[in-house]
Chain A
């Protein structure tokens, strides 16, 4: 709105001319020249003020001031590099802890379907008992009925994912593919970057058309990002599919944490896996995700689905014997994706990171207090030449903001590296896990907001304290000249901060201790098998074109050949490996047991080869292990664990009892000791094992128990298997011990992060105590000198300084214990084998913190005791 801006000089000129003109007038009225000039000047008032007002209105003043403040602050910070570095590093550590955890939250809980921006109106739908590891809850026919009748949804999609293989060449390439309902892409609102999505007609969905949409990664890696890929053919599990589209980069299916490589219609189930599940109402294999209509509450949608489901249960009671209650979850805590394990852990870690940041703030606040005392003269001078209190506070806050922003910058550099740390906790398994943090705009914004809050939090009190001088700058100057000590207020505030720091670090250390003990308890707990000396390898015979009989023949020969390798003790097969999220479930019906109405009869189920129990060394409590003779021609049998026997046949001998597993009646031939199959921290659950050669799975894991290092046998095992079929790809070659580390990944994440936060907290608290005690001692050098001169012993001085530090420690510990006792109960869900008020943890942590405080006080106490009284008095 301003045109060419008038210069201040031009304005000054105008005022000068005004005064001259006025003087001329007055002279005309008869005054002397001198008097006229004087009167004109007086009448005009302060030309200075007028000029200032002109200046003020002609620019954005606050911006000018801010710029000036920033320049000044940078000069101040550069003049004091020691302080600046310590402050920036302290804050950077605190902020990095937060941005790291936030980067994970950002890419998991806040971004449950990568590649789809808007997911807040989507819910996952669960039928039956809630659990952390639900099996897909819907049959195709139930899903289709719900989808066609529910009014609350803009769309309900269904999918089922599993391993497949691309069989274009002789060597199959294993991928993870998803069968999807015909509205899948439409509901997600996903547009392919090439071609189209799957043709969406009901017929296609149920019967299937051989079309595939490729994932971006697969398109790039396997097809060399071929731009003319559309219309070409890809063979999946030996069947030809026409490629109709390529999904955009980043999209990996809607099962957060697991990567899907391609998508084909639900109806292709029979071709890919030979099941033909869409024709059944009582085969539950689909995960269902709904997009709510605008304005529809998810509770209302849940109610509607429940009443629809109730109708289905009444019409088809035989297909719905278990619990049928429908519940829904927003995606951030969906039980169907990895968030189910993270939504409890990550927010707790974020809270701990915030506590750490609070600690860093307290440290910085203390540094600032010390610094503001050192800068009293500067402040006093600025105040006495006309700065007001608020400009001083603003100036200090600008300095803090600069420190915090520098800290945030450093923190973001750290975060770029730590964000990928999440995947480091997950061992490489055959699961297509894609769990990682990343630094993006949201994280950047969070870092800036966090750092500015930090600046305000740590800087406001010291700045206000410093600006108190404004009330009496003269005496401040005088005081400074007399060089008296820092003032009682300062030390009380600093003392309070130190007490707070000790209390907060106690809290962090207690959490760290509890998580560490949880991890230790979990790792010490007996999993029910012996994981050492077992080599694992996976393969899939289906894409090789093996029939069931050929597969069993292959397996038998492989077992014999592997067993004859030198150093191999025993060999078996399984469709899962324990503690790696690979075990499946099935519905059972124990003989003579009458389930309560709507009781879930779903239990963990493993399909295993001969000598399974012997190979993993799970104790056999009664009966026998599986053998090679337990094949399709022999009577159907099963082995159960003790938990299953106790639950369904309490007080009875289970051997010889009949047990229906997935619709087939079996005879129980063995009872195995209890073990852990999902996570170490879970309670023992019922388990049933059925023989591989009676219930064949082409997708297998071979277990080889050896003497010595299992990985040393990798090449021998590979050679043996390739001797049977040179083209069969082996993957997931690992040891049982390494493979099961994923089973406590979340405990290790919690322990590692809480532990490092605890350690940082300990260091920050020790540095804080040291800083305050050392500073107070230096301030009192004069006084100590006098006391020494008057005959106080060195021991007294030492004890007094130490005592001061210990008083902080005592108060801090007390406060910290109270806070911890009040808060640790919220961790209970994440703990295992240790109570939230575990006294041992509390005591150890308190002793640790006490020791750290003592050491921090020791140095300044020694220095105080060694003061030479003469020198102390002279220098003052």
Chain B
């Protein structure tokens, strides 16, 4: 069996983070849904578990917002697949969201790394 964390170690994606990850993945080029899921799972070293239902819902949502566009194409192993790619508007969003996320994680890090006070040693 391929290296895969046991279900208990996987983290369900936080609300809103999936959108960001999809945009980031598509920065590397057009990709179909399964490819995006695989890519996110692999790159997070199998920590993130992508619920496929949510993934397709998110793709649909991003498409409605015109951050990504989609068209049917053929995959490298000759299967018909729906390929998603980043639109200019999506690219702008990615930049914005990324910096937002970095500020968030920095702030979280600061709080979590702070030394606890004496009350609960």
* A contact set with B: CB distance below 8 Å: 1-3, 6, 11, 13-15, 17-18, 20-22, 24-25, 29, 43-46, 49-50, 53-54, 57-58
Contact = CB atoms under 8 A, between A and B. Distances in A.
A50 B53 contact: yes
A45 B2 contact: no
Contacts of B52: 15, 18, 43-45, 50
The winner among A2, A11, A13, A21 for most chain B CB atoms within 10 A is A21
A13 B70 CA distance: 14
Given A3-B64, A46-B53, 10 more contacts: A6-B60, A11-B60, A14-B33, A15-B56, A18-B56, A22-B38, A49-B53, A50-B56, A53-B57, A54-B60
B34 A21 contact: yes
Interface stretch (B18-26, B77-85, B95-103, B105-113): B77-85
Contact of A24 (B51, B64, B77): B77
Interface in B1-18: 2
Contacts of B57: 50, 53-54, 57
A358 to B, nearest CB: 49
Given A21-B79, A24-B77, A2 B64 contact: yes
B32 A18 contact: yes
A751 B81 CA distance: 80
Contacts of A1: 64
A306 to B, nearest CB: 67
Contacts of B51: 45
Contacts of A2: 64
Interface string B52-91: 1100110010001000000000010101111000000000
12 contacts: A2-B64, A6-B60, A11-B56, A15-B56, A17-B79, A18-B56, A21-B35, A21-B79, A21-B81, A22-B34, A43-B52, A50-B53
Contacts of A45: 51-53
Given A1-B64, A57-B60, A17 B32 contact: yes
Contacts of B81: 14, 17-18, 21
Contacts of A6: 60
Contact of A14 (B53, B64, B82): B82
A272 to B, nearest CB: 76
A45 B52 CA distance: 7
A278 to B, nearest CB: 76
A3 B65 CA distance: 10
Nearest to B51: A45
Nearest to B38: A25
A54 B56 contact: yes
A25 B34 CA distance: 10
The winner among A2, A6, A14 for most chain B CB atoms within 10 A is A14
Contacts of B2: 29
Contacts of B32: 17-18, 21
A56 to B, nearest CB: 10
A17 B82 contact: yes
A40 to B, nearest CB: 9
Contacts of A3: 64
B56 A14 contact: yes
A119 to B, nearest CB: 51
A395 to B, nearest CB: 28
B83 to A, nearest CB: 10
Nearest to B80: A17
Nearest to B56: A50
B75 to A, nearest CB: 6
B43 to A, nearest CB: 15
The 3 residue pairs across chains A and B that have the minimum distance between CB atoms = A50-B53, A21-B34, A18-B34
A3 B51 CA distance: 26
Nearest to A46: B53
A57 B64 CA distance: 12
B8 to A, nearest CB: 17
Nearest to B35: A21
Contacts of A44: 52
Contacts of A50: 52-53, 56-57
A32 to B, nearest CB: 13
A59 to B, nearest CB: 13
B105 to A, nearest CB: 29
Contacts of A29: 2
B120 to A, nearest CB: 40
A264 to B, nearest CB: 69
B61 to A, nearest CB: 8
A43 B81 CA distance: 18
B73 to A, nearest CB: 10
A662 to B, nearest CB: 85
Contacts of B80: 13, 17
A162 B63 CA distance: 76
Nearest to B61: A57
Nearest to B64: A2
B79 A53 contact: no
B102 to A, nearest CB: 30
B35 to A, nearest CB: 7
A18 B79 CA distance: 10
Contact of B79 (A24, A57, A58): A24
A44 B51 CA distance: 8
The winner among B37, B53, B82 for most chain A CB atoms within 10 A is B53
A14 B80 CA distance: 9
Nearest to B57: A53
Nearest to A48: B53
A3 B60 CA distance: 11
A45 B60 CA distance: 18
Contacts of A43: 52
Nearest to A57: B57
Nearest to A6: B60
A45 B56 CA distance: 12
Contacts of B56: 11, 14-15, 18, 50, 54
Nearest to B75: A21
A41 B94 CA distance: 31
Contacts of A14: 33, 56, 81-82
B79 A20 contact: yes
Contacts of B38: 22, 25
A11 B82 CA distance: 10
A26 to B, nearest CB: 8
A6 B59 CA distance: 12
Nearest to B60: A54
The winner among A17, A45, A58 for most chain B CB atoms within 10 A is A17
A58 B35 CA distance: 24
The winner among B34, B56, B75 for most chain A CB atoms within 10 A is B34
A13 B80 CA distance: 9
A14 B37 CA distance: 14
Contacts of B79: 17, 20-21, 24
B30 to A, nearest CB: 14
A6 B70 CA distance: 11
Contact of B53 (A20, A25, A53): A53
Contacts of A25: 34, 38
A50 B38 CA distance: 18
A22 B52 CA distance: 12
Nearest to A2: B64
Contacts of B53: 45-46, 49-50, 53
Contacts of A21: 32, 34-35, 75, 77, 79, 81
Contacts of A58: 60
A3 B68 CA distance: 13
A53 B59 CA distance: 13
A50 B53 CA distance: 5
A619 to B, nearest CB: 93
A18 B33 contact: yes
A57 B53 CA distance: 12
B85 to A, nearest CB: 15
A6 B82 CA distance: 13
The winner among B35, B60, B75 for most chain A CB atoms within 10 A is B60
B58 to A, nearest CB: 11
Contacts of A46: 53
Nearest to A20: B79
A343 to B, nearest CB: 58
